[in-house]
Structure 1
Amino acid sequence: MRRRSAALLTALLASLAVGAAYPQSSDGSPPGLDRLRQSGEVRGARGPLPGAEVTLLQAGDRPGAGARPLARARSDSRGRFSLSYRAPHSPDAVLYLTADAGRSGYGDDRAARGVRPVRLVAMLGVGRRTGKVVLNERTTVAAGFAMAQFTQGGEVAGRGPGLQNAAAVSHNLADVGDGTVATLLATAPNGDRTSTLRAFNTLADILSGCTAGQTCDALFELAARPGAPAPRETFQAVADIARLPGQHATGLFALADGRNTYRPRLAKAPDAWTLALRYVGNGHELDGPGNVAFDAEGTAWIVNNYTFGADPSRSVCGSRILSRLTPTGADVPGAPYRGGGLYGAGFGAAVDPRGHAWAANFGFQGTGCPLDAGRLYRSVSEFGPDGRPLSPPRGWRRGGILQPQGTLSDRDGNVWVANCGGRSVTRIPDGDARRARNIAPGGDSLVKPFGVTVDTRGRAWVTGNGSDSVTLLSPQGRPLRSITGGGIKRPMGIAADSLGHVYVANGGAVVAPCEGTTPAMVAEAVADIVTRHVDASVTMIRPDGTTPAEPFVNDGLFLPWGIAVDGDDTVWVANFGGHRLANLCGARLSACPPGLRTGDPISPADTGYTSDGLERNTAVQIDPSGNVWLANNWRDVPVQTNPGGHEMVVFVGLAAPVRTPLFGPPRHL
C-alpha cells in the first residue's frame, strides 16, 4: 500500500511540475487523474502571440447548436498555453481550439464591444490528441476552408459524418502539430505540381496582415458575403472566402503585398480563392476514374476506365478494380476491391440504400489491348458494404445491358442503368439483378443513353446523347415522354434538385463513345477546341417537362460532362475541357447571392473555378462535408494506348453538404 501511495504521490507531483511550466486552465486546477491535458502555442507570422484567450471547444452536433467550451487559458509571453479538460462522452465529438488575440479598435466600435479581431483556429478532430498544438495563420486557413459549411458566427457545428470528415480533411492542409503545411498538400501529386500550395500560403499571408493589426477592416469588408453581415474575426472571414471564393479575389490578393512569411506563394491574383487537392489512393490504382458515389459514411467508391499504367504510351486493358477512398483520400482498409465481373467501368457508379455499390462495366480499354471488349461490356457489378463482390465472375448480365454508362439507385433500392450502346435503360427492381428488365422506348427517341437521375416523384430521367433528348420514365419504368429543345444538345450528365427540376449538361461537341463511336473519335472531336463550344450549356427541365426557351450559358462551361446539385440546390458542372468547374444558381434563389437568377453563374462567369490540378473531367459529386469531387478521367493530351488521368480532385469546403448515398434529389445534411 505504501508503495502504491508513493507512486501516486510521485505522479501527482510530476503533473504539478508539468503544470507549472505553462499557464493553468481557467479553473485554476491542474489536471487530475480523470482529466486530459492539451498544450500548445499561439503564433503569428511575426512570432509568438502573448495574452491570447485560448479556448478548447466541442463543436455543436447539429446546425445552429452552439459549440461548448471545455476549457480556457491565456497564452504566456512566449505564446504557450496549457489546458486541462474532461473528455466528451461522445466518441464522435469534434474538438477544436481558438485563440482570440489582437488589439481592439480598427476604425469601428469593436473596442467598445470588447471584440478581438484575430481568431486563430486549429481543428483537433475526433479522439484524444497527444502532443502540443500550434495555432497560426496556416492552421486557421485550413480550418476555415475545411469547416466552411459548418461555421457560422465563428462557431463550428453540424451533423455527422460531414462534420467529422471535414475536421479530418483540414489536416490535409495544415499540420496542427507544428503549424506547417500538411504532408499531403506539400508533396506530389500536390506540392509544386499545382498552385494549391501557393494559394494556401498566400491566404495565410493575407491573414497575417490582420494578425499584425494592420489590415483587419479591409479583410472583413472584402470577405463579407453579399447580403450577410461582415465577419468580425479572421476565422469567419476565411470561411466566408471559402464559400464564395470568386468575390474580390484581386482585392484580397493585394492584402498580401509585402508579406511573404509563408512560402512558396502566388505571384498574381487567382480567378478565385479555391483550394483543390489531388487524391490518388495508394498511388497506383486510379487510371481514368469515371465517376464516384458516396456511402453513408462519406467514403468514395470510384470506378476506373483502365488498368493503372504510369506510361501513357504502353497499352492497357480495362480496369478490374473498384477503388474506395476515405474522405481524406487514403484507401479504405482492404480496398481497392476486385471481382464481380468488373471491367473498364465508365460513368456508372452508385450506392444503394443497403450500402451496396454498383459499377457499370462499359468495357473501356486502351488501343492495343488483346481482349475483346464486346464480351465484357454487357454487365454491371455489385459489391457489399465490406467490398465483397456479390455479382458472379462475369457480372450481372440480365436486362439487356449493353455498354452501360450512367447508373443510379433510387430511394426504394431500384437501380437504373443507361445502356449507351443499346438505346435502352435497364431497371433492376429492389437491387435484385435476377429480375432486371430492359426498357426500350423505340425508334430514335433515345439514342446513346448516357446519364440518369431520379426526381422527387421517383421518375427517371435519361439523357440521349445521340438524339439530343431526355427521356422521362415512370417510377416503374414506363416511357412517358421525350423532351427536346431548350438547348439540349449532345447531353451527357443529368441531376435532379429537391424542388422537382432536373439539369442537363449539354456537351456540345462531346459524342458519347458508344454505338459505333470509339474513344479515339471522341479525342479527335475535342482535340482542337480551345474556347467554349457554341453548344456548351446547361438546360433546366421543369417538373412538367417544359424548359426555358434558352439554356444557361457562360464561359465556365467548357465541354460540360458531369453535373450535380448540392444541398442548397445550386448546380455544379464538370468540364471535359478548360480545367474548370462551374457553379450556377439553381431554382432556390434564396441560396444564391442577391440579385442572381436561376442559371446565372455563381463562379466567375469568364472562367469558372479554375485549377491547374484538373485535366479532362467527367464526373462531379458533392460529399457530406461540402467538398466537390471531380474525376480526372483523361489526360489533357489523351494518348489512346492509355489516355487515363490518375487523380480525383477535391475542392475543399466549396458546396453545401449532401446526405449520402445520393438517390437523385439532394438532401441537405
Structure 2
Amino acid sequence: MRRRRGVLLTAALLAQLAAGPSHAAAPAPHGGQPDGQRGVVRSGDAPLGGAEVTLYRAGDGAGAAPRVLARTRSGRDGRFVLDYRRPGDPRAVLYVLADLPGPAGARGGDGQGPPQGPVTLAAVLSGAQAPPELVVNERTTVAVAYALARFTGPQGVAGPRPGLQNAAGIAHNLADTGTGGIAATLADPPNGALTSTMAEFNTLANLLAACVTGGACEQLFDLARRPGRERPRDTLRAAVDIAHDPGHNAAGLFALADTTPRYRPALPAAPEAWTVALRYGGNGREIDGPGNIAFDAEGNAWVSNNYRYDADPAVPVCGGESVLKFTPTGRDAPGAPYRGGGLYGAGFGVTVDARGSAWVANFGFQGSGCPIDPTPLERSVSQFAPDGTVLSPPEGWRAGGIVQPQGLAADRSGTVWVANCGADSVARIPDGDATRAREVPTPALHKPFGAAVDPAGRLWVSGNGSDSVQVLAPDGTVERAVTGGGLRRPLGVATDSRGNAWVSNSGILPVPCGDGTAGDLADAAAAGDAGARPGASVTLIRSDGTPAPEPFTGGGLFLPWGVAVDGDDTVWVANFGGHRVARLCGVDLAACPPGFTTGQPISPPDTGYPSDGLERNTGLRIDPSGNVWLANNWRTVPVRTNPGGHELVLLVGAAAPVATPDLGGPGRP
C-alpha cells in the first residue's frame, strides 16, 4: 500500500487524502468550471519530481481542520497542475504543500508514528493575485513558516479572522510565489541591501536546502527542536519552530545552512537570533518620527507621526499634521494619510476605541528651527472615524485639561483616557464623547506618560518624572500610587490577561514635556549609547498594586521604552537604542521554555533580538497575526532639525496573536 507523506495532517485528513481529492464534492462557484493552477516544485533551480502536491483550504478558526481541495504529483521536471473549484468565500486562505519521500523506514520524531517524509515545502496561494505558475521552494516555505508561524499546527494551517488572512498577505512580502525569488517588499528599500534581513531570509532557505537536497534532515530537526517540545518531522515544521524560538541554537543552525549555499546573498556569520525584521516605509514620503501604533479590528495600523516628512535631516521640520494608516501588508489605507482635526506633532499617543474611532494626542513635537510656536497646538486630541473622516474640530478636542498629551488608552465601555504629560493629570473622555471630558488630577505623578487599561477597566499611568505609577478606577477615582520595584524614569505600560501591569524603566530618559526638552532626551540617549544605562529594566506590578521586589533585567534591555504583552502573556519591550527587542517570560509559564520563571529573558541575555533594521524605537504593538510592530522614532544619530526615523519594523510571526483593538489586556483573537 502506498505510504502518504505530510507531517501536518491528522488521521482525519489522511483519510481524506486516501479517499481522493475532495474538490469533486464542492460546488463550483456560480456553476462554473473547475479552476486550474499550474506550478513547479524546485530546490533552487533544480526541479523536484515525484513530490505529492496537495492544495488545502486553511481551517477557518482556531482548531478548525483544513480541507483538501486537490491533489497531484509533480513530474520529472517538477511541474504539476491542480484542478479544483475555488471556494465561494473570497477571503478563504489557500496553501500548497509539496511532500517528498525520505529515507526508507523514516518515522516521526518520537520514533513511533507512521512513516513520514522529511521534506515538506509550502507556498501560500491566497493573499495576492495567483501567478501563472506557482513556485514551491525553500524560499516560499520560509515565507509560510514565518508569516503563518502562529497558525501552523499539527492539523495544518488554521486560525481566526482577520489574523490568518493578514498573515497570508504578509507571506507575499517575503517570497514571490511566481518566481520563487525574493518579494519586492523585501528586495527593495527600505529593506534590500539596506538591512541584513534579505540575506538572513536566504540563509534560512539554505538551511532547509541542507535537508531537501543535502541530506542533513536529522541535523536540522535536532537543531530546530524547541526546548520541551516535540522534535519537528519535516522541513516546514522545523522552520516554524525556528520562528517560534529564534534565539535557540542560532549558531548551530547557521553552520548547517552554510553547507548548502544555494540562495544568495546569504549571511556571512551567525546571527544572534533568527528573527525576520521587515521594514515598512509607506509611500516613501510620509513617515517621519513615528511615535506609536494602534490596531483596529481588521489589523490595520494607525500610526502617530512626530514631524512633517522631509528626507533631509538638516532641513528644519515642523510638527506632523497627519495620522498614518497602513494595511497589514504595509500599504496606505484608502485615503491615508489623514489630516485635520487639530493634528500637530503627535507623540506616543494613539489608540482605537471600542467603536473603531482612532484618537491621536497632539503633543507639539517639532524640529529645532521650526518657526511655529507649538504652545497653542499642544493642547488637544484629534479623532477620526474608521474610514479616516475627521470627527474632531479644526482645533482638536480641548476639554479635560489637556496639555502636551502623550499616552492614550481606551476601554471596553468606550471611555478614552489621555495622559497629560504637561499638566500632571489625566483626561477622562466617557463614551468617547469629548464634550464631556474632565480632568483628573494625579498627585502621585509628574510627567504622566504611558497609559494602559487592564481587563477590569482600570487605568495604569506611568510618571516619568516621579518614578511612579498611578492606578485609577474605571470611573476616574484615584485608587493607589505605586513606587519602588525598580521604577526609574518609566515610560511604557502594558497589562496582561490577569490584570498585572508591566512597566518599562528607561532608567535615564527624560520625556520632553513641562520643563524638559527634546535636547535633554537626545543628550540622555547619547549617554545611554555610551554605556550610562543605570536602571534599565522592567517592573512587574501585581493586580493588587504590589510591585515585584526587584525589576527584571537582561534579554537585551538597553533603553526600554514601549512594552506590550502578547496572547501568551509573554512580554515584549522596545529600546530607544541598541537596535534590539527584548522578550521576557510572563505570568503564563506554560508558554515559556521549560524551567523559566516570570520575568526571565527568553531573548538572548546580552543582545536581545537584534536587527540592523531597527533604530531608536518607541512604540511597540502586536497585531492579530502575531507580528511585533515597532516604530523607528528617531534616527540612530539624531539631528535636532529633523531627528525622525522613516520606517515601521515588523518582527514577522514572532509573538502570539492578540485581539484588536486593545481595550484592556491582551485578549486572544
Give 3-state SS (helix, strand or coil) of 1:39's partner. strand
Aligned AA (1:365): Q
Give 1:519 shift: 0.4
Q: Deviations over 1:444-490 (max 9, x none)?
A: x2100000111121111110000000001111111111100000111
Q: Which residue of 2 aligns with 1:21?
A: none
In 2, distance between residues paired with 1:576 and 1:465?
Answer: 15
Compared with structure 1, are the counterparts of its residues 112 and 78 closer, same or farther at alpha carbon in structure 2 (3 Å cutoff)? farther
Residues 127, 172 of structure 2: 8 Å contact kept = no
Q: Which residue of 2 aligns with 1:71?
A: 70
Q: Which residue of 2 aligns with 1:547?
A: 547
Q: Which residue of 2 aligns with 1:474?
A: 473
Compared with structure 1, are the counterparts of its residues 106 and 610 closer, same or farther at alpha carbon in structure 2 (3 Å cutoff)? farther
In 2, distance between residues paired with 1:358 and 1:133?
Answer: 42
Give 3-state SS (helix, strand or coil) of 1:461's partner. strand
Give 1:90 shift: 2.0
Residues 22, 69 of structure 2: 8 Å contact kept = no
Q: Which residue of 2 aligns with 1:195?
A: 196
Residues 140, 176 of structure 2: 8 Å contact kept = yes
Q: Which residue of 2 aligns with 1:259?
A: 260
In 2, distance between residues paired with 1:27 and 1:596?
Answer: 45
Compared with structure 1, are the counterparts of its residues 127 and 261 closer, same or farther at alpha carbon in structure 2 (3 Å cutoff)? closer
Aligned AA (2:77): R
Aligned AA (1:368): G
Q: Deviations over 1:527-559 (max 9, x none)?
A: 132337120000000011101110001151111
Give 1:277 shift: 0.6
Aligned AA (1:454): V
Give 1:181 shift: 0.3
In 2, distance between residues paired with 1:434 and 1:56?
Answer: 54
Compared with structure 1, are the counterparts of its residues 154 and 580 closer, same or farther at alpha carbon in structure 2 (3 Å cutoff)? farther
1:258-277 to structure 2, matched below 5 A, reads: 258-277=259-278
> How many matched pairs?
642
Q: Which residue of 2 aligns with 1:576?
A: 576
Q: Deviations over 1:601-635 (max 9, x none)?
A: 11111111000000000010000000000000000
In 2, distance between residues paired with 1:602 and 1:135?
Answer: 33
Give 3-state SS (helix, strand or coil) of 2:257's partner. coil
In 1, distance between residues paired with 2:608 and 2:242?
Answer: 16
In 1, distance between residues paired with 2:362 and 2:528?
Answer: 29
In 2, distance between residues paired with 1:251 and 1:329?
Answer: 33
In 1, distance between residues paired with 2:23 and 2:519?
Answer: 71
Give 3-state SS (helix, strand or coil) of 2:519's partner. helix
Q: Which residue of 1 aligns with 2:16?
A: none
In 1, distance between residues paired with 2:23 and 2:387?
Answer: 49
Determine if the alignment matches structure 1 residue 95 to structure 2 residue 129.
Answer: no
Compared with structure 1, are the counterparts of its residues 79 and 111 closer, same or farther at alpha carbon in structure 2 (3 Å cutoff)? farther
Q: Which residue of 2 aligns with 1:534?
A: 534
RMSD: 1.7
Query: Which one is further off, 226-235 or 298-307?
Result: 226-235
Q: Which residue of 2 aligns with 1:625?
A: 625
Residues 532, 559 of structure 1: 8 Å contact kept = no
Q: Deviations over 1:353-395 (max 9, x none)?
A: 1110000000000011111111100000000011011000010
Give 1:213 shift: 4.9
Query: Which one is further off, 81-90 or 164-173?
Result: 81-90
Q: Deviations over 1:550-597 (max 9, x none)?
A: 000115111100000001110000000100001100111111111110
Aligned AA (2:635): R
Give 1:309 shift: 0.6
Residues 107, 217 of structure 1: 8 Å contact kept = no
Residues 452, 460 of structure 1: 8 Å contact kept = yes
Aligned AA (1:157): A
In 2, distance between residues paired with 1:28 and 1:287?
Answer: 50
Determine if the alignment matches structure 1 residue 313 to structure 2 residue 314.
Answer: yes
Residues 131, 177 of structure 2: 8 Å contact kept = no
Residues 465, 492 of structure 1: 8 Å contact kept = yes
In 2, distance between residues paired with 1:311 and 1:51?
Answer: 55
Compared with structure 1, are the counterparts of its residues 106 and 417 closer, same or farther at alpha carbon in structure 2 (3 Å cutoff)? farther
- Normalising by structure 2, we get a TM-score of 0.94
Which stretches in structure 2 are left out of the alignment for 5+ residues? 1-19
Give 1:198 shift: 0.5
Give 1:114 shift: 3.0
Identity fraction in percent: 59
Which stretches in structure 1 are left out of the alignment for 5+ residues? 1-24
Determine if the alignment matches structure 1 residue 231 to structure 2 residue 232.
Answer: yes
Q: Which residue of 2 aligns with 1:5?
A: none
Compared with structure 1, are the counterparts of its residues 176 and 102 closer, same or farther at alpha carbon in structure 2 (3 Å cutoff)? same
- Normalising by structure 1, we get a TM-score of 0.94
In 2, distance between residues paired with 1:128 and 1:526?
Answer: 45
Aligned AA (2:565): V
Q: Deviations over 1:147-183 (max 9, x none)?
A: 0000112610000100000000000000001100000
Q: Deviations over 1:94-152 (max 9, x none)?
A: 00011001433487677993311100000112587351100000000001000000011
In 1, distance between residues paired with 2:615 and 2:654?
Answer: 19
Residues 153, 236 of structure 1: 8 Å contact kept = no
Residues 367, 640 of structure 1: 8 Å contact kept = yes
Q: Which residue of 2 aligns with 1:296?
A: 297
Aligned AA (2:654): L
Q: Which residue of 2 aligns with 1:177?
A: 178
In 2, distance between residues paired with 1:111 and 1:257?
Answer: 32
In 2, distance between residues paired with 1:274 and 1:639?
Answer: 29
1:132-531 to structure 2, matched below 5 A, reads: 132-153=133-154, 155-442=156-443, 445-530=444-529, 531=531
In 1, distance between residues paired with 2:273 and 2:552?
Answer: 21
Residues 106, 217 of structure 1: 8 Å contact kept = no
Aligned AA (1:541): I
Residues 454, 496 of structure 1: 8 Å contact kept = yes
Residues 93, 127 of structure 1: 8 Å contact kept = no
Residues 118, 233 of structure 2: 8 Å contact kept = yes
Compared with structure 1, are the counterparts of its residues 593 and 114 closer, same or farther at alpha carbon in structure 2 (3 Å cutoff)? same
Give 3-state SS (helix, strand or coil) of 1:100's partner. strand
Give 3-state SS (helix, strand or coil) of 2:37's partner. strand
Q: Which residue of 1 aligns with 2:588?
A: 588
In 2, distance between residues paired with 1:128 and 1:260?
Answer: 30
Give 1:664 shift: 2.4
Q: Which residue of 2 aligns with 1:12?
A: none
Give 1:88 shift: 1.3
In 1, distance between residues paired with 2:396 and 2:221?
Answer: 56
Residues 91, 127 of structure 1: 8 Å contact kept = no
In 1, distance between residues paired with 2:154 and 2:317?
Answer: 52
1:610-649 to structure 2, matched below 5 A, reads: 610-649=610-649
Aligned AA (1:216): C
In 2, distance between residues paired with 1:111 and 1:538?
Answer: 44
Give 3-state SS (helix, strand or coil) of 1:168's partner. helix
Give 1:299 shift: 0.4
Q: Which residue of 2 aligns with 1:15?
A: none
In 2, distance between residues paired with 1:428 and 1:622?
Answer: 25
Residues 104, 114 of structure 1: 8 Å contact kept = no
Aligned AA (1:276): A
Query: Which one is further off, 475-484 or 109-118?
Result: 109-118
Residues 102, 213 of structure 1: 8 Å contact kept = no
Give 3-state SS (helix, strand or coil) of 2:60's partner. coil
Q: Deviations over 1:30-70 (max 9, x none)?
A: x9952110110000136000000000000001122121110
In 2, distance between residues paired with 1:45 and 1:618?
Answer: 39
Aligned AA (1:557): L
In 1, distance between residues paired with 2:35 and 2:106?
Answer: 41
Query: Which one is further off, 385-394 or 106-115?
Result: 106-115
Give 3-state SS (helix, strand or coil) of 1:181's partner. coil
Give 3-state SS (helix, strand or coil) of 2:144's partner. helix
Residues 154, 233 of structure 1: 8 Å contact kept = no
In 2, distance between residues paired with 1:27 and 1:338?
Answer: 50
In 2, distance between residues paired with 1:303 and 1:516?
Answer: 23
Residues 301, 322 of structure 1: 8 Å contact kept = yes
In 2, distance between residues paired with 1:397 and 1:176?
Answer: 50
